[in-house]
Amino acid sequence: MADWLFSSGGCSYPHDFREGPQVRFRHGQVRSFVEETQVLPGIWLYRGEAAGRCRFSIRVDGTGKPRDGGRLVMGAMLAGRGALGLDGQADQFWREDGRFYALAPVERRVRYEVEAEQGWRAVALRLEREALDMLGGDQGVPEMVRSALEGRRHDFSETAPLSGALRSLGHLLLRPAYSGAMHRLFQQAKTLELLAHQFDLISLESVSGFTSAELARVRRARDQLLADLRDPPDLHTLAAGAEMSAKRLNRGFRSLYGTTVFDYLRDARLDAARAALEAGTPLSLKSLAWELGYGQVSNFSTAFSRRFGVPPGAYRDTRR
């Protein structure tokens, strides 16, 4: 794909993935990497991450046109805040961790502006015309996807709440549990699973009908929910504080975060567990489970395995 330009402050660093599959960009507090891998015919996987508080931009020169069709990028911003822009289209903003996006960057430049308090993580797929042949032509492929890959549509840039399934798959691809030949098979399988969920989402519209004041109360409810992962408020207490019914609060969570209050809490606990294990927490698994609100370490281990593909003990060992 065309050249990428990473910038932070007055420092810029260009990279062409045809010359190397991974780029590491470091400047000041910014410590980031982006990696490109062709996983299947016509399908490339991108994985990106930056640690801690950081602010930087990525610009992709999408002016080069594929030889026999179009191009589609579908991604998941797993952590961090920012904006993405496609030439000729209005900027799309994400204010909370977790946002799905889709755009057709043929002959248009793409800009990602990242501003993160506790790191940035992203996973994306790039599809070109050859992917349609592998996926069976127009059998079950959404019209928007087909028109973009056939080169008939270059004019869309959309975002939507990130579902729990997409969030889990994104983390699995960012932190694969295998190496060697198994890593390749795992990556291909999870890429196809990610693609299926993206196809489901790309034609759907997010829940609407909320005022800006209501959405602000939903965000405050989210902050209250995360304030104490060991003993968070129950749904009805949370809804009362947001001056909403429990049903409407759940709808608000779906609108902003793509999931229910209960599922959002579960994912937050597991994300906190993963971060603690990666940071080398001295806590035993039983103590970590208790700190995050699990009464039984077996329940914690089962939930962690479902989310990240490996038990927490094995995950801790691989990070060592």
Q: Both 20 and 121 in a single domain?
A: yes
Burial class (CB in 10 A: 0-12, 13-18, 19+), 229: middle
Q: Both 192 and 223 in a single domain?
A: no
Tally of domains in the chain: 2
pLDDT number for residue 188:
93
Domain end: 202, 236, 252, which one? Answer: 202
Those residues with Cβ within 8 angstroms of residue 315's Cβ, 6 or more apart along the chain or in another chain:
177, 274, 277, 304, 308
* CA dihedral of 205, 209, 211, 212, whole degrees rounded to 10: 0
Q: Both 245 and 120 in a single domain?
A: no
Domain end: 202, 229, 254, which one? Answer: 202
Q: Do residues 34 and 22 make contact, with C-beta atoms less than 8 angstroms apart? A: yes
Mean pLDDT of 247-261: 85
Q: Both 31 and 117 in a single domain?
A: yes
Q: Both 173 and 119 in a single domain?
A: yes
For the chain, give the mean pLDDT.
86
Top-confidence residue, 140 or 178? 178
**Residue 108 belongs to domain spanning:** 4-202
pLDDT number for residue 162:
82
pLDDT number for residue 139:
60
CA distance 137 to 169: 25
Q: Both 193 and 217 in a single domain?
A: no
CATH of the domain at 22: 2.60.120.10
Q: Taking 70 as the threshold, does the pLDDT of residue 206 lie above it? A: no
pLDDT number for residue 63:
67
Q: Taking 50 as the threshold, does the pLDDT of residue 205 lie above it? A: no
| Residue that the structure tokens 């694969």 belong to | 176
Q: Both 87 and 225 in a single domain?
A: no
pLDDT number for residue 208:
53
* 207 domain-assigned: no
Q: Both 8 and 154 in a single domain?
A: yes
Q: Both 266 and 309 in a single domain?
A: yes
* 283 domain-assigned: yes
pLDDT number for residue 317:
82
Single out the residue of 74, 80, 84 nearest to residue 111, CA to CA. Answer: 84
CA distance 99 to 66: 27
CATH of the domain at 243: 1.10.10.60
Domain end: 172, 202, 232, which one? Answer: 202
Those residues with Cβ within 8 angstroms of residue 86's Cβ, 6 or more apart along the chain or in another chain:
103, 104, 105, 108, 109, 110, 111, 157
pLDDT number for residue 94:
82
Q: Do residues 42 and 134 make contact, with C-beta atoms less than 8 angstroms apart? A: yes
pLDDT band at 203 (very low <50, low <70, confident <90, very high): low
Helices (H), the chain: 130-134, 143-149, 164-174, 180-202, 212-226, 235-241, 246-257, 261-278, 285-291, 297-308, 312-319
CA distances from 109 to 59, 84, 87, 221, 229 (A): 7, 11, 6, 37, 41
* 285 domain-assigned: yes
* pLDDT tens digits along 99-121: 899 998 878 889 999 998 888 99
Q: Both 136 and 260 in a single domain?
A: no
Q: Both 74 and 187 in a single domain?
A: yes
Q: Both 160 and 23 in a single domain?
A: yes
pLDDT number for residue 177:
77
* pLDDT tens digits along 283-308: 999 999 999 999 999 999 999 998 88
| Residue that the structure tokens 């797993």 belong to | 78
Question: What angle, rounded to 10 degrees, do the helices at 261-278 and 246-257 form?
Answer: 50
